[in-house]
């Protein structure tokens, strides 16, 4: 590479007087001379592996004379500094006039080889959105305002596109950019009210079902309690009729007394069971209603994201609880 830089430096000096070439038009002779001097200094620094200082010299030279060969040496230096994105842009400029600025086909081919090498490590991401007053971010940095469409050269790999706007749900999309390829994304923001989901701690129907069961149990208990009272009243009437002079206290001496005893016990049992059902059903009803009151829903927003795939991206919604 040191030999290549030396040859290119000689070429720039040799072509300085050729004012008819596109890359020399409008550039004063004095600026060309100064650019050549800076270019030579940059080459010396590059040969000493001082890449960052060499880059500064190349930038200063290009500020005076934007020569494709200076651009090429600058791109090679950027590659050495692992600043691949910058190198890709500079290589495009270095090759904008094709092979004409290069002294030999071999040197032009070397520039093409560098461009191909760098192209395999970078790609393009593009995004579009239609909403007004929305903003699009790329990898956490502001990119452009909506509505609009933009494209940007990026390193190959995974990148994150975020769209946000007041009153809309923020959407995050992951895209995978392949080397030399373009990954596209459409940013569509949804109103927050349209995507809010109400989540209940317990299924909404369960507390009301408990209250309904409690009400049914209460009604059954009331019916059984009044049946017991009716039967007790009938027992009292039968007792007065069957025992006008009094009966055995145990009501078990005669068949009539045993029948009266059974009627009395049945009436008491029905009354007691009915009252127990009323108490239990009431507790279920009150508990179910109280449960329904405290079973308040939570507003839950879905997380919008796009999972990266080899051919682009696949959208999905994941609800967060």
Q: How many CB atoms lie within 10 A of CB 248?
A: 12
Taking the C-alpha atoms of residue 202 and residue 197, their distance in angstroms, rounded to an integer, is 15
On whether the 2-119 domain is CATH 3.40.47.10, my answer is no
Q: Which of 9-23, 150-164, 241-255 is most confident?
A: 150-164
Give the residue, 264 or 4, on which the prediction is more confident: 264
Per-residue pLDDT band at 302 (split at 50, 70, 90): low
For residue 273, pLDDT beyond 60: yes
Using pLDDT thresholds of 50, 70 and 90, give the confidence band for residue 234.
confident
Query: What does the alpha-carbon distance between residue 303 and residue 321 come to, in Å, rounded to a whole number?
Result: 10
Residue 318 pLDDT more than 50?
no
Do residues 303 and 317 lie in contact, with contact meaning Cβ atoms separated by under 8 Å? Answer: yes
Q: What is the pLDDT of residues 14-73, one digit of tens each?
A: 344 455 788 888 899 999 999 999 999 999 999 999 999 999 999 999 999 999 999 999
CATH 2.60.40.10 applies to domain 122-195+301-319: yes
- Cα(312)–Cα(134) distance, integer angstroms: 23
Residues 90-147: tens digit of each pLDDT: 999 999 999 999 989 999 999 999 999 999 999 999 999 998 999 999 999 999 999 9
* pLDDT for res 136: 95
Listed residue (183, 174, 175, 171) closest to 301, CA to CA: 171
Average pLDDT, the chain: 83
Rounded-to-integer distance, Cα 110 and Cα 88, Å: 14
Q: Which residues pair with 164 in a beta bridge?
A: 135
What is the rounded average pLDDT of the residues 168-192?
Answer: 90
Encoding tokens for residue 252? 């078990």
Where along the chain do its domains lie?
A: 2-119, 122-195+301-319, 201-296
Contact 32, 24 (CB under 8 A): yes
Query: Does the pLDDT value for residue 317 go beyond 60?
Result: no
| Residue 40, H or E segment | helix 29-47
As a whole number of angstroms, the distance between CA 67 and CA 70 comes to 5
For the cut 70, the answer to whether the pLDDT of residue 315 exceeds it is no
Q: Which residue has the tokens 């600026």?
A: 31
Most confident of 67-71, 247-251, 264-268: 67-71
Percent of the chain with pLDDT over 70: 83
Q: State pTM to two decimals.
A: 0.58
d(CA 91, CA 117): 11
Residue (of 3, 179, 11) closest to 88 by Cα position: 179
Q: Please give the distance of CA 268 from its chain centroid, rounded to a whole number.
A: 67
């Amino acid at each position: 590479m040191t030999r290549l830089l030396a040859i290119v430096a000689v070429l720039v000096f040799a072509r300085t007087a050729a004012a008819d070439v596109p890359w020399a038009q409008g550039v004063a002779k004095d600026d060309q001379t100064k650019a050549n001097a800076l270019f030579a200094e940059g080459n010396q620094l590059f040969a000493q592996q001082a890449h960052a200082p060499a880059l500064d010299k190349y930038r200063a030279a290009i500020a005076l004379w934007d020569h494709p060969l200076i651009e090429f040496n600058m791109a090679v230096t950027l590659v050495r500094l692992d600043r691949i994105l910058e190198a890709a842009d500079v290589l495009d400029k270095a090759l904008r006039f094709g092979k004409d600025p290069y002294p030999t086909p071999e040197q032009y081919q070397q520039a093409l080889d560098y461009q191909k090498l760098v192209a395999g490590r970078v790609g393009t991401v593009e995004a579009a959105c239609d909403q007004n007053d929305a903003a699009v971010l790329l990898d956490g940095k502001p990119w452009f305002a909506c509505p609009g469409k933009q494209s940007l050269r990026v390193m190959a790999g995974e990148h994150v596109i975020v769209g946000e706007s007041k009153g809309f749900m923020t959407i995050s999309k992951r895209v995978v950019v392949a080397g030399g390829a373009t990954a596209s994304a459409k940013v569509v923001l949804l109103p927050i009210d349209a995507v809010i989901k109400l989540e209940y701690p317990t299924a909404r129907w369960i507390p009301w079902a408990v209250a309904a069961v409690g009400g049914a149990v209460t009604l059954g208990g009331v019916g059984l309690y009044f049946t017991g009272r009716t039967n007790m009243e009938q027992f009292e009437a039968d007792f007065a009729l069957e025992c006008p002079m009094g009966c055995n206290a145990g009501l078990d001496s005669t068949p009539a007394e045993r029948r009266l005893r059974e009627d009395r016990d049945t009436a008491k049992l029905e009354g007691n069971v009915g009252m127990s059902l009323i108490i239990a059903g009431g507790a279920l009803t009150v508990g179910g209603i109280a449960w329904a009151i405290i079973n308040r829903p939570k507003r839950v927003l879905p997380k919008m994201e796009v999972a990266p795939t080899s051919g682009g991206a696949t959208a999905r919604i994941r609800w967060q609880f």
